[in-house]
Structure 1
Amino acid sequence: MEPLYTAEALSTGDGRSGHVRSSDDTISVNLAPPQEMGGSGQGSNPEQLFAAGYAACFHSALQMVAKADHKKLGDSAVGARVSIGKEGEGFGLSVVLEVVVPDLPVEESRELAEKAHQVCPYSRATRGNIDVELEVTDQ
């Protein structure tokens, strides 16, 4: 791979109870474990950041494959639900991608979502490592 762009971020403090910031300071976030994991919930967490990145990246991939197929997505949206849980002796992640394309029949949208899942860098990076489920609707 020939990099087109490299993002940099630095975590300081106590990891999940610390702070992260990007090298250009466009992201600067205090972190705190969610209440469900015994934390205060008074900050963001790595799963939220991963969900935001995956949703945006997948939405771009969806738009790219739709354009290649000469389809218009209209007011489409992609949401990502990232779950963390115990897996063996450690922890694991799972993702549900919620794809909403109100201007196309659900089956056409599902086909586009499957194509996007093949080319999205986040999908490619997670394939075979974590469960990723696609939920496609028109509302």
Structure 2
Amino acid sequence: MKSIEKVLYTAVVETSAGGRDGVARSTDGRLDIALSSPGTSGTGTNPEQLLAAGWSACFLSAIRLASQAMKVELPADIGMTTNIDLGTNDDGYQLQAQLQVRLPGVPREVAQQMVDIAHASCPYSKLSRGNIDVTITIV
């Protein structure tokens, strides 16, 4: 495992003792959300949705960096859908992810290269590597 040589940003979030049914607030005040367990009638979000949002944002930024390095212009309507599944196995709770990347108008081979570069460089992908099942599809 490689250590960080230079910290660029530190997110600090405090979560109440309610955990999945609590509140999460960032110390800078930009995040202040209610949390609810998945599948309940609560009005808050859940950690799986937050992970999907963060991973999608990071992955799309990594695709943009890859496209710049490859000198490929991306269409304005790129996007992705990220599914985070929470389930169980004989070890207890487990996550898995499906990333569906939309790169309309980009030739399939070029799109695959960008996705491969993004998956190699995105910190969320690095975090998941070898830890959970991840499926990436270009749609």
Per the TM superposition, whether the score is higher than 0.5 is: yes
5+ residue gaps in structure 1? Answer: none
Distance in 2 of aligned mates of 1:61 and 1:96:
17
TM-score normalised by length of structure 2: 0.91
- Aligned identity (percent) is 38
**Equivalence for 2:114:** 112
**Equivalence for 1:33:** 37
SS at match of 1:95: strand
Q: What is the Cα deviation at residue 107 of structure 1?
A: 2.4
Partner AA of 1:90 in structure 2: G
SS at match of 2:98: strand
Are 2:60 and 1:56 aligned? no
Partner AA of 1:52 in structure 2: A
**Equivalence for 1:135:** 137
CA RMSD between the two structures: 1.1
Q: Which runs of 4+ in 1 moved over 3 A?
A: none
Distance in 1 of aligned mates of 2:82 and 2:41:
23
**Equivalence for 1:11:** 15
Q: What is the Cα deviation at residue 72 of structure 1?
A: 1.2
5+ residue gaps in structure 2? Answer: none
Distance in 1 of aligned mates of 2:59 and 2:90:
29
Q: What is the Cα deviation at residue 14 of structure 1?
A: 1.2
- Pick which of 65-74 and 98-107 moved more: 98-107
In the alignment of these two chains, the number of paired residues is: 134
Partner AA of 1:131 in structure 2: D
TM-score normalised by length of structure 1: 0.91
